[in-house]
């Protein structure tokens, strides 16, 4: 196993890694819309926060030598399911390969974020 870590994505806010490589599999921990330079949540609606989440995911994927096309499964967590359509509008710009996905509403996310996304990818 190999730990993936980059300063271009938020540092873990708990006892976990940004991502782990196991064989050809890459497992990204859930990303919330933290701006890496400030450690603060991106201020704005679901669209703004989802864009930040995608930037964070992109940075971790890049550090692992991958990109969004390597994704095979995502799990998406929304604080409010009424944000589903707006979230999808941003999501589909990044995950163009349409990986398998689960998307659920949750009672609350860390730091009161509106969205969190975790990714499983296969490395080439």
Q: Give catalytic residue positions.
A: 103
What token pair was written down for 77?
């967590």
How far is Cα of residue 57 from the mean position of the Cα atoms in its chain? 4
CB atoms within 10 A of CB 11: 11
């Amino acid at each position: 196993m190999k730990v993936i870590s980059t300063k271009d994505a938020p540092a873990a806010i708990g006892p976990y890694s940004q991502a782990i490589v196991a064989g050809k599999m890459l497992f990204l921990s859930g990303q919330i819309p933290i701006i890496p330079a400030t450690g603060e949540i991106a201020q704005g609606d679901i669209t703004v926060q989802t864009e930040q989440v995608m930037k964070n995911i992109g940075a971790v994927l890049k550090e692992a030598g991958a990109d969004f096309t390597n994704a095979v499964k995502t799990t998406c967590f929304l604080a409010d399911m009424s944000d589903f359509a707006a979230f999808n509008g941003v999501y589909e710009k990044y995950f163009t390969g349409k990986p398998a996905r689960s998307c659920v509403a949750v009672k609350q996310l860390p730091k009161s974020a509106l969205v969190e996304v975790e990714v499983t990818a296969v490395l080439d």
